[in-house]
Amino acid sequence: MVRVDNNKLQGVKMDILQISEYILMAALAFYAIATIRIATRKTISMGIVGLLGLSIAVATILILVNNIYGIAFCKDIAYALVILGPIGTIAFSKVIRGW
């Protein structure tokens, strides 16, 4: 019967979690760059879609920064982006359409 030290096992789990958070942050940065490219298209609808995707990427990155570094105000800003992003998109599309 082999004994496993739980402290060492927990340290390995934390390292895997932290590595996965950094990988997710890198993937979100790549996604943010792709949405900026979408936002610079000629049509207004593609610009709206690109900016909404960018706000979602930034909000998710802010939540990760809150989890990794413990900066509390990042969560508040992320919630505001998630709530106000779709509301602004709907309002802008109503204005463009002409009510």
What are 9's two structure tokens? 């096992």
| pLDDT tens digits for range 9-35 | 555 556 788 888 888 888 988 988 888
Q: Measure the CA–CA gap between 62 and 56, rounded to whole angstroms.
A: 10
> CA nearest 49: which of 98, 99, 90?
90
| Percentage, residues of the chain above pLDDT 90 | 0
Residue pair 34/5 in contact (Cβ under 8 Å)? The answer is no
Average pLDDT over residues 64-90: 86
Residue pair 61/87 in contact (Cβ under 8 Å)? The answer is no
pTM (2 decimals)? 0.70
